[in-house]
Structure 1
Amino acid sequence: MFSSIRNFLHRHRRKFFVTGAVIGSIYLLLSYAQKRLREWQEREAKKFFEMTRKKQHFESTERTCNQTILSLSKIVSESILNILNTEEIVQKLQENPDNKLALWEQMKIMIFTRICALVYALSILNVTLRIQLNIIGGYLYRDSVREEGPSMIDSELQAKYLSLCHHFVGPGVEDLVKQIEKAVKRVVDPISLKKKITVQEVEQIFWSIQTILCTDTENGDPVKKMVHYLVNHTEINEAKFDTLVKETMDILETDEVISISVSTVSRSFSSVVDEVANLFVSKWVPTTKNHLEAVDDHIVTNGALKSGPSQPFIDVNQVDMHFVKLLPVVNELITKNTCKGNTNIPDLLTQQLTLNEKLKLLGANIYELFSST
């Protein structure tokens, strides 16, 4: 029996060798595949946890960024309103002084300077702070995942770096107001207080001021001077701080950031014009009989008001208002209290800038760049 088995194995030895080799190869391949699968699963799990951790850290950075922006925006707004204090002029006008015409002329310059300064200052503040805080957030994330070595950015360096914006909040805003006031005078001074003005003409005023500022060869475009407002006053005597400042300067001077900043300024001016248009609709009251035509208890004035099935339709582009009557309601729009349900231009601009998708995407890209290990 053993001899027959031995003969059988001898006759089929090649088949057994081949079969064994195949089975062994399959076993090795299965073992290798299982090992690779486990490694892939571990890598994917690690990657998932890292992405989750990074996402949570970025969201925390965003919340900090928004809170900081809201806090400093309020300070900047109050600073501008204090520098351009129209309340004193309003009180003098209420006393009906002999120089009331001169006071009204001064008032119109201050009101438009207020609005333009708010638009530019809040836009610059939002852009620079979002860049700074996402740079810090990126570095802090890298520190949190590093297993050894000194931290890349400590609390002292963070404080020193973030204090850069304090110059803009103080002296920087004052310089900006002076520059904007010169541009406003060039555009608004020639406009008579008695002139009837439309929403389109108000929009043209803002556009002209923006054009003058972006082509200002003497002082420079405020949007392109963000580096000046942020770092040109700072003494740098530390290597890490110098690196942070240079990285920030490089980002602020990129075409992408300048383009986004110009876009935010233009969008903010559009929002202001929309609020002024609402004033034309809500505050405007026709007074001259020869300018009116009564039709079924509705008023038609140059096609501005047209009766409809339920209520008149107001074509705001056809409505005009004496410039002198526009100034007080615009001034009220800047300063009135939001707790009463009223619109407040500084808060409106701050909210829109905080929710601006382009600025959010810019911050996310900067965070991703500086958090990459």
Structure 2
Amino acid sequence: MSVFSKLRDFFGRHRGKFIVGGVLVGGSILLTRYAQQRLKDWQERETRDFLERTRKQQHFESTERTCNQTILSLSGTLFKTLNSAMDTQIIINELKSNPENANKLELWNRLRLLVLSRITCLIYMSVMLVVTLRVQLNIVGGYLFKDANAVSTHVQETYLSLCNNLLDSGLQTIADLVEGQFDKLLENIQLSKKMRLRDFDNLFWSIQTLVTTCNGNPVEKFKDYIITNNIPNDDLILNNMIRDTADLLESDEVKSLTSHCLSRGFTLVSDELSHFYLSNTDKSKEVPEGTQLNGFVHPGEVKIPFAKVLPIMNAMTANGSLPDTLITQLIMNERLKTLGANVYECFSETA
């Protein structure tokens, strides 16, 4: 028998095995190639997703920097406008130039009203400005991430100019509201009354409570201070952004966050005042009976006449650190950052 016959017989006897083996080898090759292709597709998809996330993160960080710069810029305008609208220097000059003025008590009471109202307005206006800009600029940022040409420069300027409503008519409305409530609150508090630090805490807590009961409550009516009825909205994109802004400002989340920031702002005022009280914790100051004087006197136990605290409170907003510290605190507030991130994420997602 020839070699070829033997080979033919061998293959004949084991033909099934060769077929199965061929199928297995061929299938393994196909599966390997399929797995390699799937792995390649996955790697490419992961790379694209990584690059997209990186681009999105960089764009969001750029939006946040722009937001912070805008806040710092407009807050300077706010401080100047507020100090001009609630100027205390005229009264101070009058008291200095004519100490024996027959209307001295009236001038002091007016000064007290302006000082307390200006601090309160500073906090309300600063919080509302920062919250509004966080919402607006992250809405714009979300639109621009999806399409760099989605929002024209004109539409951006018109949309962002909504803040002017807060800085113009909004400021005057809040100032009138706060002054009116403080006028009632201070009616039975004498300038000679000796005030503890916690008395001022209670005073500012009371003004917040009174403001919440008013029809013009800035927290509940937040949207009305920003969006008026005479805003041109013939542009579809602009109309959508204004509508979305209104919805966000009316949401429970934003209202709760605004209230939280207001409380933090008044706490900051208390901290500023505590420095003054701390510097007066010596034995020459009046403290309650029974307080130990042979050592440290807690600033919370010190009592100082209301009138003597007014110059300190006036300096806080006139040329002190309160406005800048407040704005810095709001910019760094983690809950406000989270709000901005959530708004950006919502409006930057592609369909």
Give the TM-score band, short-chain normalised: over 0.9
| CA–CA distance in structure 1, aligned partners of residues 90 and 161 of structure 2 | 33
The answer for the alignment partner of 2:143 in structure 1 is: 139
Match 2:273 to one of 276, 279, 284: 276
Distance 1:302 1:126, change over 3 A: farther
Say whether residues 1:333 and 2:321 are aligned partners: no
Match 1:18 to one of 20, 37, 40: 20
| CA–CA distance in structure 1, aligned partners of residues 198 and 227 of structure 2 | 38
Look up the equivalent residue of 1:152 and give its one-letter code. Answer: A
Confirm or deny: 8 A CA contact 1:134 1:363 kept in the other structure.
yes
Note the residue ranges of structure 1 that are not aligned, 5 or more in a row: 145-150, 293-299, 308-312, 337-342
Distance 1:242 1:85, change over 3 A: same
Say whether residues 1:100 and 2:104 are aligned partners: yes
The answer for the alignment partner of 1:324 in structure 2 is: 307
Aligned residue-pair number = 345
| CA–CA distance in structure 1, aligned partners of residues 264 and 290 of structure 2 | 30
The answer for the alignment partner of 1:295 in structure 2 is: none
SS in 2 for 1:303: coil
Deviations 1:68-120 (A, max 9, x none): 00111111111111111111111111121221111101011001000000000
Distance 1:76 1:304, change over 3 A: farther
Say whether residues 1:253 and 2:241 are aligned partners: no
Confirm or deny: 8 A CA contact 1:120 1:265 kept in the other structure.
yes
Q: How does 1:149-298 map to 2 (within 5 A)?
A: 151-216=149-214, 219-233=215-229, 234-283=231-280, 287=284
Look up the equivalent residue of 1:177 and give its one-letter code. Answer: A
Report deviation, 1:244.
1.0
TM, length-normalised to structure 2: 0.94
Deviations 1:217-260 (A, max 9, x none): xx331112221111124232222211111111111111101100
Runs of 4+ displaced beyond 3 Å: 283-288
The answer for the alignment partner of 1:147 in structure 2 is: none
The answer for the alignment partner of 2:31 in structure 1 is: 29
Look up the equivalent residue of 2:64 and give its one-letter code. Answer: E
Deviations 1:285-327 (A, max 9, x none): 6547xx68xxxxxxx97536552xxxxx331111110011111
How large is the Cα RMSD of the aligned pairs? 1.6
Distance 1:304 1:277, change over 3 A: farther
Confirm or deny: 8 A CA contact 1:302 1:318 kept in the other structure.
no
Look up the equivalent residue of 2:327 and give its one-letter code. Answer: T
| CA–CA distance in structure 2, aligned partners of residues 28 and 325 of structure 1 | 89
Deviations 1:162-194 (A, max 9, x none): 111112111211111111111111212321011
| CA–CA distance in structure 1, aligned partners of residues 293 and 315 of structure 2 | 25
Confirm or deny: 8 A CA contact 2:283 2:293 kept in the other structure.
no
Note the residue ranges of structure 2 that are not aligned, 5 or more in a row: none
SS in 2 for 1:3: helix
Distance 1:301 1:179, change over 3 A: same
Look up the equivalent residue of 1:328 and give its one-letter code. Answer: P
Report deviation, 1:279.
1.1
Q: Taking every aligned residue pair, what percent have the same amino acid on both sides?
A: 40
SS in 1 for 2:167: helix
| CA–CA distance in structure 2, aligned partners of residues 136 and 314 of structure 1 | 53
SS in 2 for 1:152: coil
Deviations 1:266-295 (A, max 9, x none): 11001111111111112566547xx68xxx
Look up the equivalent residue of 2:248 and give its one-letter code. Answer: I
Confirm or deny: 8 A CA contact 2:282 2:297 kept in the other structure.
no
Look up the equivalent residue of 2:17 and give its one-letter code. Answer: K
Report deviation, 1:40.
0.4
Distance 1:71 1:82, change over 3 A: same
Confirm or deny: 8 A CA contact 2:128 2:258 kept in the other structure.
yes
TM, length-normalised to structure 1: 0.89
